[in-house]
Amino acid sequence: MSLRVLVGCKRVIDYAVKIRVKPDKSGVVTTGVKHSMNPFDEIAVEEAVRLKEKKIAKEIIAVSCGPTQCQETLRTALAMGVDKAIFVEVPAKDYETMQPYHVSKILSKIAQEEKADLLFVGKQAIDDDCNQTAQMTAAFLDWPQATFASQIEKNDGSLKVTREIDGGLENIEVKLPAVISADLRLNEPRYATLPNIMKAKKKPLAKKKPADYGVDLTPHQKVISVEDPPVREAGQKVESVEELVKKLTDAGMIPT
Ligand code: AMP
């Protein structure tokens, strides 16, 4: 059985950028800021490409929902080895309030239309830290899910997935079709080579709208405010262990 694999690729602020909160606290500054593919989505794409290299997958389709620049994110996925891409264009105004609920509805519709056997997403998007899309999409599709995957093995009609859980690992088996969310240790994603970046320009990239999938983008929640973390207080230097113990004792941090 050769699988059709769908991968969600979100365009997010690059992990190395220092995030700045907007003065009116309505969100974070995104204009003029470097963006890249969500790091967990690079891992999801890599895993899909490895499945294709092992002849377990036959076609990989990447999906990105968001502003026009998401097409660059999709070109990166295509250069890594994805076969075709679907760009679901969301106007800037709607994108500000778009939530995993809406993305999950779109992904589940595409999974059905494309007759996907497997949907890979990242365990979370590093911008909103929601960690909801895998779970909600699995629910909409009524498919089993294996979240926080750190190892995947294909058996007949099912996958054995190792999940990273608090303090250990859990091995589960899910029947296909299924939704998998990629954790950090699943693999190390490859860099796209220049020849593959050139080839990716010729691969198919379809443009769609949420309405094409019958998805209405009315927000389900409202962000009240986004705040910077509290500024860390300056530390103090001590000359000796004795002085440190005395200071901690005086501050009531060591019981006497
Ligand atoms: P979240 O639930 O927002 O933390 O996102 C988890 C994963 O869902 C991401 O790592 C992506 O794989 C996928 N995802 C979320 N938002 C989008 C989007 N706008 N377009 C494509 N995939 C997305």
Residue 30 has what pLDDT? 92
Closest residue (by CA) to atom 10 of ligand 1? 122
Mutate to test the pocket of ligand 1, among 121, 145, 208 (most ligand atoms within 8 A of CB): 121
Closest atom of ligand 1 to 40 CA is: 10
| Residue 63 CA, ligand 1 centroid: distance in Å | 10
pLDDT (tens digit, 0 to 9) for every residue of the chain, 256 residues total?
A: 699 999 999 999 999 999 999 999 999 999 999 999 999 999 999 999 999 999 999 999 999 999 999 999 999 999 999 999 999 999 999 999 999 999 999 999 999 999 999 999 999 999 999 999 999 999 999 999 999 999 999 998 999 999 999 999 999 999 999 999 999 999 999 999 999 999 999 999 999 999 999 999 999 899 999 998 888 889 889 999 999 999 999 989 888 7
Closest atom of ligand 1 to 66 CA is: 19
Mutate to test the pocket of ligand 1, among 103, 123, 140 (most ligand atoms within 8 A of CB): 103
Residue 1 has what pLDDT? 65
Structure tokens at 194: 């220049």
* Domains of the chain and CATH, by start: 3-228 (3.40.50.620)
Q: Is the pTM above the cut of 0.85?
A: yes
Residue 227 has what pLDDT? 93
